[in-house]
Amino acid sequence: MVKALVVDDEYYIREGIVTSIPWGELGIDTVGEAEEGLEAWNKFQSLRPDIVLLDINLPKLSGIEVARRIRNVDQEAQILFLTGYDDYSYLKEAITLQAVDYLLKPIVYDDLLQLFKAAVSKHHEKNKSKQYLSLLKSQIQSLSQAPQDIILLDLLQSRTRADEIVSQIPFLQAHTREHIYYVISMEIDLYEQLSSERSQQDKATYMYAYQKLAQEAADQINLSDCRIISDFPGRLIAVISYGVSRHMRTYFDEQIIELAQHFQRVFRDYLKTTITAGVSSLVNGYDRLPEAYHQSLHALVQKSAVGSGKILFAPYMETRIHHHIDIMPLELSMLSRMSEGNLTLAQSSYRRWTTKIYASGASSIKGYAKNLVMPMMRMIHEFHLEGDAIDVQPLLTGLVANRSNEEIEGLLLGYITSITTEIAQTKKIPVSKMISKAKTWISEHLDEELRLTQLAELLHISPNHFSVLFKQATGVTFTEYVLTAKFDKAKELLANTDMKISDIASEVGYIDSNYFSIAFKKHEGVTPSVYKKMNVVTDP
């Protein structure tokens, strides 16, 4: 069973958490309480909880200091922070202390419940991983890289000729020169960060675990002709063979994409980590495996621009060089119109671009389309665009899956249209007008739980971009602005009306009047009732 510790100096908040959460249903059998930092540290040492919920602002010892002491003796405890509007300066330090998550006050019950559920789930996952790695450690002592893996790596890296070593690699012994191959290079994202404090033996254990997991993942889908090796710390190589004609290329391209997606799911679900996969094009014969290997590594180079956790593909060989045509001016024109948010001219430039490609005698548009992907990805980054409509993965998948020219044209035009439309939305409303509209919306919805994502959606702008613009315009974060607006309205109602405090709490979005009183005092320095007495307007 799991143990938890709840730490908050405000009695009503602490007791509300302890009495409202269904601990037994979550699998938590012991719940401790503390109201200040020194007591929290003493309770931690005696209880040794698996999950600690800490208010950042605590008397005697701050929540940050308590977390620091915990981390000095326990790297596994799940630390969750409660933070108010004025605690943001501490969050950066909280991250360095490996806090699992944090929750903003005022507390929403459903969010708090989900926070504990996630912490319990993560605790169980860590235990499962520790047990798995413990088993592997018992095997790793006598384990060295299998000789056939070393020989296969020598082949991939061109240190030996295929004809000289095929007989020494069981994976290739039954193959002929008619077999076709793919290579997938898989980087474990954040590997350096994840392994920075591990010993060399532990690093070897984890790499063995990754390799074993990937091999089991391939075996799960009955892909017997797949060999997983490691060529570099944090990177795995999958060599996949099909013993049939390359005339079935379309089918195999789709199969290899599904395999890469399967690897990603397994690593995400079991080890809670992401991988970036670089996929080669199909090659014919094992003597061309070095070519496929280097293609897969080259595909991974795109990670720095596209981002981690993606499936990336080797560049298509048919490029503008083969046709000796200069379409760069048309590409630049199209990209320029996109960045202006001018959809009509962007689509017009696209049509002229495709017309010139086909007029040159090119049989496929695929290579040219791939040349546009990276500039468009940079555009997405520059304009802080987000959302499913501009997810590059469907386009990349379509470009490698041997689709027809018409299908590729449709994918590319749809992507150009989505990006240009999103950019146009960001340019439609001047920043000053957008911020003014945001402030008006906030003032009209103070009786609700206001979320930045909701407002950003109404303004047709990405949440991250809106957050930056709002802070630049107002000098405070969205959360700080909303809290100040709520309490300003509360003060106005307290001073100028006879409304009950519970009704005023409801007017500014607080369901629980007790919690409203606590939050009001923390923000204004006095309780609502005291503020009312200090500011009541009397008739002369």
Give residue 427's pLDDT.
Answer: 72
Would you state the pLDDT for residue 424?
Answer: 84
Blockwise average pLDDT, block size 10, the chain, 540 residues: 88 84 86 90 90 87 87 83 60 56 73 85 71 49 55 78 70 70 91 72 77 87 79 88 63 80 90 90 85 86 76 57 54 84 91 87 75 74 72 73 82 91 77 87 89 80 78 87 92 91 90 84 88 68
How does DSSP classify residue 474?
Answer: H
Scored b (16 or more CB within 10 A) or e, 336-375 reads ebbbebbbebbbebbeebbebbeeeebeebbbbbbebbee
Provide the pLDDT for residue 185.
94
pLDDT value, residue 134: 53
The predicted structure's pLDDT at residue 442: 93
Residue found by looking up tokens 């997938």 in the block: 184
| Predicted local distance difference test score (pLDDT) of residue 249 | 59
Three-state SS string over 17-31 comes to HHHHCCHHHHCEEEE
CATH homologous superfamily of 2-135: Response regulator (3.40.50.2300)
Question: Where in the chain are the domains?
Answer: 2-135, 147-313, 320-428, 432-535
Per-residue pLDDT at 443: 92
Three-state secondary structure of 231-287: EECCEEEEEEEECCCHHHHHHHHHHHHHHHHHHHHHHHHHHCCCEEEEECCCEECHH
Predicted confidence at residue 24, as pLDDT, reads: 85
- Whether this model's pTM surpasses 0.85: no
What is the pLDDT at residue 141?
41
pLDDT at 347: 92
CATH class of the domain at 147-313: alpha beta
Protein fold of 432-535: Arc Repressor Mutant, subunit A (1.10.10)
Determine the pLDDT at residue 128: 64
